[in-house]
Amino acid sequence: MAERKEITVRAVRREGRGKNDAGRLRRDGFVPVTVYGGDAEAVAAAAPLAELAAILRSETGANTIFTLDVEGVGASEVLFHDRQIDPVRGRLVHADLRRLVAGQKLEITVPLHLVGEAVGVREEGGVLEQIVRELEIRVSPRDIPDAINVDVSNLGVHDVLHVSDIPTSEGIEILDPPDTVIATIGIVREEEVAPAPAPEGEVAEPEVIGKGKKEEEGTAES
């Protein structure tokens, strides 16, 4: 797990509501956010779009823990819970942020990376197919991994890798069913190539063997 940087985003409390207020905020370079969780009440705020977008583009993405300091409310450690993206511009238009509570574990989704070259690919001509690319886990906020890496070096042709085959890490509980298939090694079968049909209008003539010789012999005898 990479060392986490301390990030603080300063926000202002939202007093207005509705599309007009949200539209004005976006034109000014802010994003409406809702902060909730723990024993404190939910807070509607507005945070700088550029700073939130930079967090989402970072290596840890939506799983980045950062401090949101709302003017007049105070600072809280938060994590993205949900976000809305403009389908046309691809821009963040709203975010739900979850407060982190000391001692309380989170249920989040993290990437699943397959590492190593499978023996079934390297020596047996197989093809590795990754079926699952994310895993849902339960973990303490400070122990959130950037990804879960699984070594597939020993996988041979027709081998199947399940969630239950993933080595357990202290403090991380995988919530996906143990029998979930995450990867397999298959074989690519070559298709038989049918002979090309004769060009339209042409009929292949059978080869006649020995006809000319027999005719010559018959002529000589007569």
CB 9 within 8 A of CB 44: no
On average, the pLDDT of the chain sits at 86
222 pLDDT higher than 50: no
| pLDDT in the model for residue 76 | 94
- Closest-CA residue to 144 (of 95, 107, 113): 107
pLDDT digits (tens, 9 = 90+) for 154-178: 999 999 999 999 998 889 999 999 9
pLDDT digits (tens, 9 = 90+) for 53-103: 999 999 899 999 999 999 999 999 999 999 999 999 999 999 999 999 988
| pLDDT in the model for residue 29 | 87
Domains, in order of start, for the chain: 8-103 (2.40.240.10), 107-187 (2.170.120.20)
| pLDDT in the model for residue 27 | 82
Q: Give the residues across from 31 on adjacent strands.
A: 47
